[in-house]
Every structure is written in structure tokens, then in C-alpha cells.
């Protein structure tokens, strides 16, 4: 049981870190490529795997929910972001509002990451061509 409690806490912090990196990892130039990969994997899971497992499917959420079930915790929201927001704040956020904010933040991050990665790529090609 202690093992699952440790895993539960680990996934709360790990998944929160991955989520924050997805939202903000496009800002520092050094992490833009990795951010684009993370957002690509997220898109693949949400949409691609979502065909079979349901829209917005996330492997990390699935693993964490299984760990929480082992702890006897069955009343989890459909959205991991809602879970994190409720867990961190102690409040009970509206699930639909959380979904809307999540999609807006994701789209902003994805568009920013794609555009900045294209910009960085073009800039690096210019530097190489001008030498």
C-alpha cells in the first residue's frame, strides 16, 4: 500500500510537471524542440489513441487512475487537469470550464511551439547559408 501511495504522489508531481512543460516549454529556446515533441505526443494520445480510448485519452492519466484505484480511490474526474486544479487548490472547479481552458492553453502552446520551432529552424539555416 505504501508503494502505491508513493506512486500516487509521484504521478501528481510528474504529471503536473509534464503539463506545465507542455504549456510553457516553448518559451526558452533551449527546450523548444523537446516541447514540440511532448506536444506532439500529447496530440497523438488525445486524438490518435482517443479514437479507441476516448477523446482526450492520456497514458499518464490512465496509469495514475489505475494506481489510485489500487488505493481504493474511485471517484476521479474525467479530466486530469481538473483533478490537479482541485487537488492543488482544494476547490471544486467546473469540469467544462477546465476543459475549455485546457484546450485553449494547449492550442496556444502548440501554435507557439510550432511557429517558434519553424522560426528557429529557418534562422539556423540562414546562419549556415551565410557562412
Q: Is the pLDDT of residue 10 over 90?
A: yes
In this prediction, what percent of the chain has a pLDDT beyond 70?
96
Q: Is the pLDDT of residue 83 over 70?
A: yes
Where residue 120 falls among pLDDT bands split at 50, 70, 90? very high
| Total domains present in the chain | 1
CA distance 5 to 65: 12
Residues 6+ apart with CB under 8 A from 56: 46, 50, 78, 79
Q: Are 65 and 53 in contact (CB under 8 A)?
A: no
- Structural domain for 98, as ranges: 2-130
Q: Is the pLDDT of residue 131 over 80?
A: no
Average pLDDT, the chain: 94
Q: What is the pLDDT of residue 71?
A: 97
Amino acid at each position: 500500500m505504501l508503494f502505491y501511495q508513493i506512486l500516487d504522489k509521484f504521478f501528481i508531481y510528474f504529471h503536473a510537471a509534464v503539463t506545465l512543460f507542455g504549456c510553457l516549454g516553448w518559451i526558452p529556446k533551449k527546450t523548444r524542440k523537446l516541447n514540440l515533441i511532448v506536444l506532439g505526443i500529447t496530440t497523438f494520445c488525445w486524438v490518435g489513441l482517443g479514437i479507441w480510448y476516448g477523446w482526450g485519452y492520456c497514458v499518464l492519466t490512465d496509469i495514475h487512475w489505475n494506481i489510485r484505484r489500487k488505493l481504493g480511490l474511485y471517484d476521479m474526474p474525467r479530466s486530469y487537469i481538473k483533478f490537479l486544479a482541485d487537488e492543488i487548490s482544494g476547490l471544486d472547479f467546473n469540469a467544462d470550464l477546465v476543459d475549455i481552458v485546457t484546450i485553449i492553453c494547449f492550442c496556444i502552446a502548440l501554435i507557439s511551439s510550432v511557429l517558434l520551432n519553424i522560426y528557429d529552424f529557418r534562422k539556423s539555416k540562414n546562419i549556415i547559408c551565410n557562412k
